[in-house]
């Protein structure tokens, strides 16, 4: 029996450790032997030891640069360890070796998206659809990029095409639900999530989003039942604990049950566990149980973990606060906007200051539409006025026109008839001078809360994105709040 046959036999018998040990020994003796390199790479890749596999695959590539199977293996390995630029590099090499392979082209499109290069992603994914017009996944991948571009109509069209081609494509159905949610159509969103779960009852993203959907519809008992089921399916998925910890209809027994489940998950110390999210959830649960010391310790652990992953960029924050003052003093007041803004109400302030409560009170009026936290103004202002985290100076007339047109276009679908739309994205306070200029008749409502209460509430919140880095350390939270107060006093 040859050495390669021995390795295959050990692998087929499930003796993975012995197979790995033997492959390491063989490679040490024969470091440039193609068959041993290939066996070493394959075994380690299958065992999840990606870095070890990569070293052998890269050496194989130097020995035979035209072997596309090796190039694709390298690309996939880099993708598994989230090194998307390196993965993209090797998929592009594969594309040169095989120019019209739709799967290679789709992978390039997905990697561009993961790198934040949405335009390039769309170009490649549209090519993928042309090459494989009968492949559901081609439309699904393109739809995800369309959604990132906030081209929701095209995204829905492509998700539907994916489902037409594969009526069991539960991920496309789930993503359709997400788009309907963004369009504030909770009924169609619910139907899409339920259709997704009818195919795969354990699909985590559909479970999560359906739970959120029920909360928005104030169907809290259904949300609770769904989240308990989700935790039963996925006992180590932090997002479900995070969501259930925020429900207001939990009994003491249910809270204690969830606390026990979180503590068990944390004790497992699995690498796949989102430990920071777990500690945030534990903090909320313990707070509801009035176990305040444990809650405080949990919040501190959670914030410490997140602050290491998402460091506070003091220079960038200082730059945009100073820029807001600059705009207030230097913007061209003669700019003639073709959108009056009389149909817009902006609720601004710090997060956790009461913007949601205020919106719910205002929206009891029949002419006021609750828009929730709309990302459009913040997105287009940063796109037009910042580059590499530095502002580009005084906005031009063209900049102001683009901002006005973009926001007006993006919010148009939220109006069912002539009424007034509420945008309660708190951090729009940064753009008060822009709002006053491009929407001169818009209303701006500033809500504030006791600073200590507000900051403590922020410290207990898991924002789960990259836009609130200031909130994960008490020192930076205090600094940021002071800058916010200073800016509001300046505007007043």
Each domain of the chain, given as residue ranges in start order, spans 232-309, 314-491
Q: Say if CB 104 and CB 73 are below 8 A apart.
A: no
Q: Say if CB 139 and CB 120 are below 8 A apart.
A: no
Joined tokens for residue 72: 């694709």
Alpha-carbon distance 435 to 39, whole Å? 62
Q: What are the CA-CA distances from residue 410 to residues 136, 153, 377 (Å)? A: 28, 12, 9
The pTM of the whole model exceeds 0.95: no
Q: In angstroms, how far is the first alpha carbon of the chain from the final one? A: 85
Please report the pLDDT score of residue 206 as a whole number.
98
How high is the mean pLDDT in each 10-residue block of the chain (492 residues)? 83 88 88 89 91 93 94 94 93 95 96 92 97 97 94 96 98 98 93 98 97 95 97 94 95 97 87 83 96 96 92 92 93 84 96 94 91 92 90 92 94 82 96 95 96 95 82 95 96 86
The crossing angle, in degrees rounded to 10, of helices 170-182 and 204-216 is 30
Please report the pLDDT score of residue 303 as a whole number.
95
Please report the pLDDT score of residue 451 as a whole number.
96
Please report the pLDDT score of residue 271 as a whole number.
64
Q: Say if CB 114 and CB 84 are below 8 A apart.
A: yes
Strands (E), 368-489: 368-370, 386-387, 390-391, 420-423, 443-446
CB atoms within 10 A of CB 349: 22
CB atoms within 10 A of CB 431: 26
Please report the pLDDT score of residue 413 as a whole number.
82
Three-state SS at 464: coil
Q: Say if CB 440 and CB 337 are below 8 A apart.
A: yes
- What CATH topology corresponds to 314-491? Rossmann fold (3.40.50)
Alpha-carbon distance 134 to 106, whole Å? 14
**Residue 254 CA, distance from chain mean position:** 29
Please report the pLDDT score of residue 466 as a whole number.
61
Percentages of the chain per state (helix, strand, coil), in multiples of 5: 70, 5, 25
Alpha-carbon distance 258 to 319, whole Å? 43
Alpha-carbon distance 462 to 282, whole Å? 11
């Amino acid at each position: 029996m040859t050495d390669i046959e021995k390795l295959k036999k050990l692998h087929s018998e499930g003796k993975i450790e012995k197979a790995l040990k033997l492959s390491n020994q063989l490679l040490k003796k024969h470091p440039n032997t193609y068959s041993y390199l290939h066996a070493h790479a394959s075994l380690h890749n299958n065992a999840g030891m990606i870095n070890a596999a990569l070293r052998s695959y890269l050496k194989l590539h130097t020995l035979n640069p035209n072997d596309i199977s090796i190039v694709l293996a390298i690309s996939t390995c880099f993708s598994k360890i989230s090194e998307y630029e390196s993965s993209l590099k090797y998929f592009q090499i594969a594309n040169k070796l095989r120019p019209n392979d739709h799967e290679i082209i789709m992978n390039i499109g997905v990697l561009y998206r993961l790198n934040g290069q949405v335009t390039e992603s769309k170009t490649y994914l549209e090519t993928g659809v042309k090459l494989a017009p009968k492949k559901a996944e081609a439309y699904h991948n393109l739809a995800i990029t369309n959604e990132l571009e906030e081209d929701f109509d095209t995204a829905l069209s492509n998700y539907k095409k994916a489902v037409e081609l594969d009526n069991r494509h539960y991920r496309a159905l789930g993503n359709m639900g997400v788009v309907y949610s963004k369009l504030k159509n909770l009924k169609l969103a619910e139907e899409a999530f339920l259709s997704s779960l009818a195919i795969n009852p354990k699909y985590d993203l559909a479970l999560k989003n359906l739970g959120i959907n029920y909360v928005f519809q104030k169907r809290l008992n259904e949300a609770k039942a769904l989240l308990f089921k989700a935790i039963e399916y996925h006992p180590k998925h932090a997002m479900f604990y995070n969501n259930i910890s925020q429900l207001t209809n939990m009994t003491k027994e249910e809270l204690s049950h969830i606390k026990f489940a979180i503590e068990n998950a944390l004790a497992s110390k699995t690498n796949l566990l989102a430990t920071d999210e777990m500690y945030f959830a534990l903090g909320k649960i313990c707070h509801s149980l009035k176990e305040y010391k444990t809650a405080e310790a949990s919040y501190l652990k959670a914030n410490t973990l997140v602050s290491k992953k998402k460091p506070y960029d003091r220079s960038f924050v200082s730059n945009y606060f100073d820029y807001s003052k600059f705009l207030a003093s230097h913007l061209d007041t003669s700019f003639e906007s073709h959108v009056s803004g009389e149909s817009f109400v902006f609720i601004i302030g710090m997060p956790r200051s009461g913007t949601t409560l205020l919106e719910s009170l205002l929206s009891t009026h029949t002419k006021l539409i609750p828009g929730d936290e709309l990302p459009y103004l913040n997105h287009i202002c940063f796109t037009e006025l910042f580059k590499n985290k530095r502002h580009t100076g005084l906005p031009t007339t063209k900049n102001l026109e683009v901002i006005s047109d973009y926001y007006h276009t993006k919010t148009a679908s939220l109006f069912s008839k002539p009424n007034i739309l509420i945008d309660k994205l708190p951090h729009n306070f940064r753009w008060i001078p822009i709002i006053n200029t491009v929407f001169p008749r818009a209303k701006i409502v500033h809500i504030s809360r006791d600073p200590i209460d507000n900051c403590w509430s922020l410290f207990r919140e898991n924002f789960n994105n990259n836009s609130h880095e200031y909130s994960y350390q008490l020192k930076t939270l205090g600094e940021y709040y002071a800058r916010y107060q200073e800016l509001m006093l300046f505007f007043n």
